[in-house]
Structure 1
Amino acid sequence: MPEAPADSECAAQFRDKVVDELIERGEIVSKEVEGAMRKVERHKFAPEATLEDAYKPYNAVVTKRNEHGNAVSSVSAPQIQAFMLEQARIRPGMRVLEIGSGGLNAAYLAELVGDVGEVTTVDIDPEVTDRAARLLAEAGYPDVRVILADAIEGVPAHAPYDVIMVTVGAWDIPPAWVQQLAEDGRLVVPLRIRGLQRSVAFQREANRLVSTSVRICGFVPMQGPGAHDSQFLLVTGTDEIALRFDDGLPAEPNLLDNAVLSPRAETWTGVTVKRGEPIDMLQMYMATVMPGFCLMSVDKDLDSGIVAPWNKRFSMAAVDGPNFAYITPRLTEDEQFFEYGVHALGPDGPEFAAKIADHVRTWDQEHRGGPGPRIAVYPAGTPDDRIPELPGGRVIDKDHCRVTLSWPSTTTAAGDQGTLHHTTEQGE
């Protein structure tokens, strides 16, 4: 049934309201992205949701769940779609590949490339591609190519691409994605780095990729051969305290068997952040410099008080031989700020806590409010002496590539970060 005029007018009002808010927040900065997001009727790609829910600026609409109830496909939140489109810098006439279909984002891309450009969208799930093709046709975008395939191989038939935009969470960057980019092409990908997901805009430079923008995000993970599972280490032998490692367990995990028998050492750093201030760059910095970086969660039903993080679902943590530690905040006396501290358990707990606390202070003194990390991607097997970011940065080896993170010193005033990065929940 066609929309009634009143429904169409109401949808347009919702659409204008969310675009106005995203402009005010600095998520939309170009007239091109503004025009596309005002024109494309978002709700037609999320028929499962009410108009109000479809246009909530920071909420995704889940369109498919697996047998465990986990989301495997969704329409991303307008805020995330807006800043990723800005990261991509799409212009009329470009050839664009979207990896991970849903329909809506492909419609935005079609508006941005115009009549002389090309948009191809690919997904491994036939239900997803069938749905995307149907919704795109109904919304007036029949020229978007919708392809059912394993996106780990890209879509070579229509390469090279000026932009490849990935709209599923990726742990690795397959060679095909780099090879199918134009010589100066851009890849925008929600890349998982040591358990933290960031939307990274990369510029191709010969056989490597160099970041131009890094934003916090959240996407459902890739399926098929591109999927990657984290590994968990249960510190107490039960589900009470779980350490999640994204790049393999410690070499000798059994060394932690007696860590919880040691008294908990606590060190406070003096580093404070205002309530609501972004901490995504602190997370990335600690993931870069902390040895044995992982993420800690505590089962609230089994919690015996051995550890005491502010956020039981998510805490930055690290392992060093028989010791483990985690970073946690506490409210200052006036309840306007959080101070960050380190708790450590193990025979060398006080020393380990002090070492990590020094890293937090270094971030505060040298990198807080700065431009964030420079991320580069090299083919797997590239020797260390061919990676200019080393030894000043950290290299993370994945199946198909080597990812490096290096940190320039602060070049902007502390506090500017709030306008550059999406706010994350304090206590993480």
Structure 2
Amino acid sequence: MTTVREKSVGDEAASLRAEMVWELRNLGAITSESLASAVATVPRHLFAADEPLKAAYAADQALVIKRDQDGTALSSLSSAHIQTVMLEQAEIEPGMRVLEVGSGGYNAALIAELVGDAGSVTSVDIDAEIVERARTCLDTAGYHQVEVVQSDAIGGVPKHAPFDRIVVTAGAWDIPSAWLDQLSERGRIVVPLRLRGLTRSIAFDRAGEGLVSDSYRLCGFVPMQGAGAYTERLIRVADGIGLRVDDQRQDFDIETLAAAVRSPRLEVWSGAAFDLPDELELFLATSTPEMVMLHGSKGLVEQGVFALSVTRGVPTLVVGGSFAYRTKRPNEETGGFESGVFAHGPDAESVAARYVELLRRWASDHRRRGAARIQYRPMPAGTAEPSQGIVAKQLGAVEISWT
């Protein structure tokens, strides 16, 4: 009786895997035959034993593995969609040495399929419980060759270096020096990097002492723990209104901004198309250090104080006691939607004009996928200065140019 049940589960899982591969191909997340084969082979449900089979094989569903006492996710099995997107970015080949930062087990098993018998996979995590779980799941699925290491990932795993690929599966605010030191001369780092309140999976190739990338994708990840952890400031402006700030040194006139919220809003429409919001937001967020993320409550949207865009966070230009943020409205003449600005405060007109100019510039010059070129330059700790196109980090600077 037990044998029949196990066979039934195995057959259903194989069918669901095939469906997941088909869906991920249609979504453009899987583009290579090697990755399609890996996803069709690895039994994802064995890495999500507490979940129903259909949940384990849902292409766009992340599964929380561990939470803290407040219910905040500490570790998760990322959605198959973002995992495959990042592995396509990595372009892993047979025989490569790969370091995975953040252990769930499933992603490491996919990498093991990609590198084959001649390659090696090392997975590192700071949490002993997660490491033990990953080891158990990998052994159950038959991937005994994957090395699972408990350590703070900021130091990498020097005993197994150099690595041809480093695939990071936790949100990182900076790029630790050890990752650069342990990357082979023709290596690549794929990392969910936090940039002024946004996260993008960026595939960096080594370029001299630094890194360069033309490949970046929208994503979201549980943040890194340990020495590489970083907490952005959340500045309360008023009830239900906050600014999420990347640079700890920025100062704001909170009293004047709170008064600006209560002032009538200025609407300015750009005449430019609103499209590809993830590309647009990256352009806006990195255009000037005066751009921060504005978060507002749903209640304030319902009261007409703010546009809907603030509920998920929106790049906002803050100058003194005035601010402006993007919005949209239907307009068939611009292809369906038109971008615009809502501004508040004594200098609302000038701040809105600056923001609208950015919207028009993006729409006319950069409205396409992959228009940004992203570089990382290591620098002495704390010396990087934010400016137009430069996001300062503790250990270096991210430089973003648009073509």
> What is the aligned partner in structure 2 of residue 415 from structure 1?
none
> What is the aligned partner in structure 2 of residue 322 from structure 1?
321
The letter of the residue matching 1:223 is Q
The letter of the residue matching 1:313 is R
| Equivalent-residue separation in structure 2 for 1:377 and 1:33 (angstroms) | 28
Deviation of 1:296 (Å): 1.5
Deviation of 1:35 (Å): 0.8
> What is the aligned partner in structure 1 of residue 253 from structure 2?
253
> What is the aligned partner in structure 2 of residue 407 from structure 1?
402
> What is the aligned partner in structure 2 of residue 192 from structure 1?
194
CA RMSD across the alignment = 2.4
* Match runs of 1:138-217 below 5 Å: 138-217=140-219
* Match runs of 1:103-122 below 5 Å: 103-122=105-124
* Match runs of 1:48-63 below 5 Å: 48-63=50-65
Contact 2:273 2:334 in 1 (8 A): no
Given the superposition, is the C-alpha separation of residues 335 and 162 from structure 1 closer, same or farther in structure 2, using an over 3 Å criterion? closer
> What is the aligned partner in structure 2 of residue 331 from structure 1?
330
Given the superposition, is the C-alpha separation of residues 383 and 354 from structure 1 closer, same or farther in structure 2, using an over 3 Å criterion? same
The letter of the residue matching 2:374 is I
> What is the aligned partner in structure 1 of residue 102 from structure 2?
100
Q: Does 1:297 align with 2:295?
A: yes
The one-character-per-residue Cα deviations of 1:153-198 (angstroms, maximum 9, x if unpaired) are 1111110000000000001101001110001100000001111100
| Equivalent-residue separation in structure 1 for 2:217 and 2:175 (angstroms) | 17
> What is the aligned partner in structure 1 of residue 28 from structure 2?
26
| Equivalent-residue separation in structure 2 for 1:333 and 1:310 (angstroms) | 20
Deviation of 1:32 (Å): 0.9
Contact 1:310 1:330 in 2 (8 A): no
Contact 1:240 1:303 in 2 (8 A): no
Q: Percent identity?
A: 45
Give the SS at the match of 2:60: coil
The letter of the residue matching 2:91 is R
| Equivalent-residue separation in structure 1 for 2:98 and 2:381 (angstroms) | 28
> What is the aligned partner in structure 2 of residue 79 from structure 1?
81
Q: Does 1:270 align with 2:271?
A: yes
The letter of the residue matching 1:400 is L
| Equivalent-residue separation in structure 2 for 1:256 and 1:383 (angstroms) | 29
Contact 1:373 1:406 in 2 (8 A): yes
> What is the aligned partner in structure 1 of residue 130 from structure 2?
128
Q: TM-score, normalising length from structure 2?
A: 0.93
The one-character-per-residue Cα deviations of 1:180-224 (angstroms, maximum 9, x if unpaired) are 000110000000111110000000122100013100011100111
> What is the aligned partner in structure 2 of residue 424 from structure 1?
none
Structure 2 counterpart of 1:398, from 390, 393, 403: 393
Higher mean displacement: 118-127 or 250-259: 250-259
The one-character-per-residue Cα deviations of 1:246-295 (angstroms, maximum 9, x if unpaired) are 2236334345353235331111112234xxx6311001110121451111
Deviation of 1:85 (Å): 0.7
Contact 2:101 2:166 in 1 (8 A): yes
Structure having the higher helix fraction is: 2
Give the SS at the match of 2:282: helix
Q: Does 1:310 align with 2:308?
A: yes
Higher mean displacement: 176-185 or 293-302: 293-302
> What is the aligned partner in structure 2 of residue 362 from structure 1?
361
Contact 1:36 1:111 in 2 (8 A): yes
| Equivalent-residue separation in structure 1 for 2:220 and 2:285 (angstroms) | 17
> What is the aligned partner in structure 2 of residue 7 from structure 1?
9
Contact 1:162 1:181 in 2 (8 A): yes
| Equivalent-residue separation in structure 2 for 1:283 and 1:402 (angstroms) | 19
| Equivalent-residue separation in structure 2 for 1:155 and 1:213 (angstroms) | 25
The letter of the residue matching 2:402 is W
Q: Does 1:373 align with 2:375?
A: no
Contact 1:290 1:356 in 2 (8 A): no
| Equivalent-residue separation in structure 2 for 1:368 and 1:139 (angstroms) | 44
The letter of the residue matching 2:220 is G
> What is the aligned partner in structure 1 of residue 232 from structure 2?
230
The letter of the residue matching 1:401 is G
Structure 2 counterpart of 1:43, from 42, 45, 62: 45
| Equivalent-residue separation in structure 2 for 1:366 and 1:335 (angstroms) | 15
> What is the aligned partner in structure 2 of residue 418 from structure 1?
none
Deviation of 1:366 (Å): 0.4
| Equivalent-residue separation in structure 2 for 1:361 and 1:153 (angstroms) | 43
Deviation of 1:329 (Å): 1.8
| Equivalent-residue separation in structure 1 for 2:125 and 2:172 (angstroms) | 13
- Structure 1 gaps of 5+ residues are 409-428
Contact 1:208 1:376 in 2 (8 A): yes
Deviation of 1:373 (Å): 1.0
The one-character-per-residue Cα deviations of 1:283-325 (angstroms, maximum 9, x if unpaired) are 1110121451111122234668473212323222121112111
> What is the aligned partner in structure 2 of residue 422 from structure 1?
none
> What is the aligned partner in structure 1 of residue 348 from structure 2?
349
Deviation of 1:335 (Å): 13
| Equivalent-residue separation in structure 2 for 1:216 and 1:147 (angstroms) | 28
| Equivalent-residue separation in structure 2 for 1:381 and 1:158 (angstroms) | 26
The letter of the residue matching 2:28 is G
| Equivalent-residue separation in structure 1 for 2:339 and 2:132 (angstroms) | 48
| Equivalent-residue separation in structure 2 for 1:21 and 1:316 (angstroms) | 32
The one-character-per-residue Cα deviations of 1:379-411 (angstroms, maximum 9, x if unpaired) are 124999x99xx99x6111111111111101xxx
Contact 2:382 2:393 in 1 (8 A): no
The letter of the residue matching 2:156 is G
Give the SS at the match of 1:189: strand
The letter of the residue matching 1:267 is V
| Equivalent-residue separation in structure 1 for 2:300 and 2:308 (angstroms) | 16
Q: TM-score, normalising length from structure 1?
A: 0.88
> What is the aligned partner in structure 1 of residue 278 from structure 2?
280
Contact 1:262 1:345 in 2 (8 A): yes
- Structure 2 gaps of 5+ residues are none
Contact 1:309 1:315 in 2 (8 A): no
Higher mean displacement: 260-269 or 316-325: 260-269
